[in-house]
Structure 1
């Protein structure tokens, strides 16, 4: 959680998109997921995931942050 706060509080780093990779299931620990979104996470991937899923998320986010 500290990493979120550090990234989002630093003006040089706060625009870096954050993709959270988690072992949580889609239905578990909604509170942590909501907290991460409030802190600025742009996307989530639940393990195990395919490399194509990560590539797709990066491709979706890249135009917004370039």
Structure 2
């Protein structure tokens, strides 16, 4: 893990496409601004983990019988 120290209004560059700005520091909270291409998903970690869990549950609940129920019959 890379650990960096930044002050308000300073930035971090990740590759050519991602820039993180320190917008505000209020008590124990830091407000970040993230500029990245639209095709890159950005989530809070807890949201990302919830999405991953939902994907696992969707895969585990998949069956050919269920798929046949929703597909048009030929």
Confirm or deny a common fold (TM above 0.5): no
* Structure number with higher helix proportion: 1
TM bucket, shorter chain: under 0.3
- Structure with more contact order per residue of length (Cα contacts < 8 Å, sep ≥ 6): 1
Larger Rg: 2
TM-score of the pair, normalised by structure 1: 0.23
* Structure number with higher strand proportion: 2
